[in-house]
Amino acid sequence: MEVVDSSTDEALLARAREGQFAAFQSLVDRYQRRVYGLAWRITRHAADAEDVTQQTFLSLIENLTAFRGVSAAGWILRIATNHALKVLRRRRSQPHVSWSETDANDSYSTLPHPDFIADWQAPPEVLVQRQETRQAIEAALEELDDKYRVVFILRDIEELSVRETAEALDISEANVKVRLLRARLMLRERLVREFGDEATRVFPDHRHD
């Protein structure tokens, strides 16, 4: 049974630190869905998402007294991200470009240019009601390289700040920004190709200022 507690996250954390399990439980109730969704989107695997969710809240118990940050949400999601990234690292048997390494694509000079530019077939709030759209957006996200996917998840889906995202991933804020822009542009291209209204398609005119 979930007990609704209207206290702020930080008040719940303070009470949990005093040893009140009920306060901790309220925090779990508040964040378990978000942590699970975050873990699912990063690991793309239900069992891993469950492991990450459990590890996250166990870590929270272990580190209750260590919390010094401003936002409990940021702290919890950061712990969850760390656990989810560990799964990704463990899974990789082939060494390839790490999500935390910088490469030539981490600059603004090679941004992917919008090609299919059109209005949506229907407003996004209508599109998202359809099962096929929900499947398509998750498939599009899955196609992104980890380094872009994870930044998009933290920044745009979980709404962490640029700084919180940078700290969670141990990359610079500048890197967060450029990776987010690439992720947004790639997802936009893919989704508008699928859910854009061909009749409204326009072509970029780079001649004007």
Partner 1 sequence: MTCEELLQALNEYVDGTLDLSAAECQQFAQHLAGCNPCQLVVDNIRGTIQLFRAGEPFPLPVEFQQRLQLNLQQRWAEKFGVGESAEVR
Place of tokens 């508040």: 30
Dmax over CA atoms of the chain, in Å, equals 65
Kindly state the number of chain residues that form the binding site for partner 1, as judged by CB under 8 A.
63
Q: Does 199 bind partner 1 (CB under 8 A)?
A: no
Please give the Cα distance from 101 to 20 (Å, whole number): 41
Q: Does 12 bind partner 1 (CB under 8 A)?
A: no
Please give the Cα distance from 90 to 171 (Å, whole number): 20
Length of the chain equals 209
Q: Does 132 bind partner 1 (CB under 8 A)?
A: no
Where in 31-70 is the site for partner 1 (CB under 8 A)? 32-33, 36-37, 40-41, 46, 49-50, 53-54, 57-58, 61-62
Please give the Cα distance from 160 to 168 (Å, whole number): 10
Where in 172-191 is the site for partner 1 (CB under 8 A)? 177, 180-181, 184-185, 187-188, 191
Please give the Cα distance from 56 to 60 (Å, whole number): 6
Please give the Cα distance from 31 to 40 (Å, whole number): 14
Binding site residues, partner 1, CB under 8 A = 19-22, 24-25, 28, 32-33, 36-37, 40-41, 46, 49-50, 53-54, 57-58, 61-62, 108, 111, 113-114, 117-120, 123-125, 127-128, 133-134, 137-138, 141, 152, 156-157, 159, 162, 177, 180-181, 184-185, 187-188, 191-192, 196, 200, 202-206, 208-209
